[in-house]
Amino acid sequence: MLLGVVVVATVLEGLLTSAWSGMILGLLLAPTLLWRRRRPLLMVAIAFLVCLFWADPGNGTLAYLLVLPYALFRWGSGREAVAGAGLIFAKISVSAALGHLGVPDMLLGFVAMIAAFALATTFRYRARLLERRLGEAKLRERERLARDLHDTVAHHVSAMAIRAQAGIAVAQRQPEAAVDALRVIEAEATRALAEMRTMVRTLRSFEADDLAPSPGLADLTTLAGGPGAGPVIDVALSGDLDDVPATVGTAIYRLAQESVTNARRHARHATRISVRVAADGELVRLHVSDDGEGARASAAGGFGLAGMAERAGLLGGTCEAGPGPGRGWTVTAALPRTGAAA
The model's pLDDT over 291-328, given as tens digits with 9 standing for 90+, comes to 887 555 544 445 667 778 888 888 889 999 988 887 88
CA distances from residue 265 to 134, 220, 227 in whole angstroms, order as listed: 20, 19, 12
Say how far apart CA 265 and CA 321 lie, in whole Å.
16
- Is the Cα torsion angle 265, 268, 269, 270 positive or negative in sign? negative
**Cβ count within 10 A of residue 274:** 19
Say how far apart CA 277 and CA 239 lie, in whole Å.
8
* Secondary-structure class of domain 217-336 per CATH: alpha beta
Q: Is the pTM of this model over 0.85?
A: no
Give the model confidence (pLDDT) of 129-164 as tens digits: 888 888 787 777 777 776 776 676 776 677 777 777
CA end-to-end span of the chain: 40
Which of 203 and 86 is assigned the larger pLDDT?
86
Residue 97: CB partners within 8 Å, gap ≥ 6? none
- Is the Cα torsion angle 167, 173, 176, 179 positive or negative in sign? positive
pLDDT at 13 over 90: no
Give the model confidence (pLDDT) of 54-75 as tens digits: 755 556 667 888 899 999 999 9
Phi-psi region of 302 (alpha: psi -120 to 50; beta: other; left: phi over 0): left
Confidence class of residue 86 from pLDDT cuts 50, 70 and 90?
Answer: very high
Confidence class of residue 340 from pLDDT cuts 50, 70 and 90?
Answer: low
Structure confidence at residue 266 (pLDDT): 81
Say how far apart CA 53 and CA 98 lie, in whole Å.
11
Per-domain boundaries in the chain: 2-101, 137-197, 217-336
Say how far apart CA 91 and CA 113 lie, in whole Å.
12
Calculate ∠ Cα 248-249-253, nearest 5°. 115
In percent, how much of the chain has pLDDT > 70?
Answer: 82
Structure confidence at residue 342 (pLDDT): 43
Cβ-contact 333, 286 below 8 angstroms: yes
What is the pLDDT of the chain when averaged over all its residues?
Answer: 80
Query: Helix 246-266 vs helix 299-314: angle between axes, to the nearest 10 degrees?
Result: 170
Cβ-contact 95, 52 below 8 angstroms: yes
- Is the Cα torsion angle 250, 219, 302, 286 positive or negative in sign? positive
Give the model confidence (pLDDT) of 247-273 as tens digits: 888 889 999 998 998 888 888 888 889
Dihedral angle of Cα 127, 131, 137, 140, to the nearest 10 degrees: -140
Structure confidence at residue 299 (pLDDT): 44
Structure confidence at residue 183 (pLDDT): 77
DSSP 235: E
Bridge partners, residue 237, by sequence: 277
Give the model confidence (pLDDT) of 191-245 as tens digits: 776 666 655 444 444 343 444 567 888 889 888 865 555 788 999 999 988 888 8
Confidence class of residue 113 from pLDDT cuts 50, 70 and 90?
Answer: very high
Taking residues 79-106, what's their average pLDDT?
89
Say how far apart CA 218 and CA 292 lie, in whole Å.
27
